[in-house]
A and B are shown apart, each in its own frame.
Chain A
Amino acid sequence: MTTNDERIAESVAVALREVLPDWEPTVSTMPMDDAWVSVPVDGLIPALEVLLGRFDIRHLSAITADEIDGVLVLLYHFWEGEGITLRVDLQEPERRIPTLVSFLPGADFYEREVFEMYGVTFDGHPDLRPLLLPDDWEGGPPMRRSAIEETGESGR
Chain B
Amino acid sequence: MSKTIVPIGPQHPLLKEPVAFQITVEGEQVIDSAMRMGYVHRGIERLCEERTYVQDIHLLERVCGICSHVHATTYCRAVEALIGVEVPLRGVYLRALLCELERIHSHLLWLGVLARNIGFDTIFMYAWRDREIVLDIMEDLSGGRVSHAANVIGGVRVDLTEARREEILGELTFLDGQVARLLNVVEQEQSLRARTRDIGLLTLEQVRQYCVVGPVARASGLDVDFRRDSLQVPYDRLTFEVPVHDAGDVWARTLVRSQETVESLRLCRQILEDLPEGPTSARVPRRVKAGQAIARAEAPRGEVFYYVRSDGSDSPARVKVRTPTLTSLITLPVQLQEITMADVSVVLSGVDLCIACADR
Contacts and interface: CB of A to CB of B under 8 A. Distances in A.
Contact of A66 (B43, B210, B320, B327): B320
A81 interface: yes
Interface stretch (A9-17, A40-48, A129-137): A129-137
Contacts, number: 100
Interface in A65-124: 66-68, 75, 77, 79, 81, 83, 85, 104-110
B36 to A, nearest CB: 9
Contact of B46 (A104, A130, A155): A155
A67 B45 CA distance: 14
Nearest to B222: A59
B209 A32 contact: no
B318 A106 contact: no
Interface stretch (B102-110, B128-136, B270-278, B292-300): B292-300
A62 interface: yes
B26 interface: no
Contacts of A30: 291-294
Interface string B292-322: 1111100000010101010000000110101
Contacts of B294: 30-33, 77, 83, 85
Interface string A55-68: 00011111010111
A32 B81 contact: yes
B293 A31 contact: yes
B216 to A, nearest CB: 12
Nearest to A154: B50
Contacts of B326: 109-110
A133 B37 CA distance: 9
Interface string A117-154: 00000000000001111100000001100001000001
B295 A32 contact: yes
Contacts of B307: 62, 64, 66, 75, 77
Given A75-B307, A155-B50, A60 B293 contact: no
Contacts of B231: 1
Contact of B45 (A79, A143, A148, A156): A143
Given A32-B77, A66-B320, A108-B330, A81 B38 contact: no
* Chain A CB within 10 Å, residue with most, of B47, B309, B329: B309
B46 A142 contact: yes
Contacts of A110: 322, 326
Contacts of A60: 211
B208 interface: yes
A109 B329 contact: yes
A30 B82 CA distance: 9
Contact of B309 (A68, A108, A130, A154): A68
A61 B296 contact: yes
Contacts of A66: 307, 309, 317-318, 320
Contact of A106 (B37, B84, B330): B330
A33 B308 CA distance: 12
Given A132-B38, A132-B41, A32 B293 contact: yes
A59 B320 contact: no
13 contacts: A30-B293, A32-B77, A32-B296, A33-B293, A62-B322, A64-B320, A66-B307, A75-B307, A105-B330, A106-B211, A132-B41, A142-B46, A156-B51
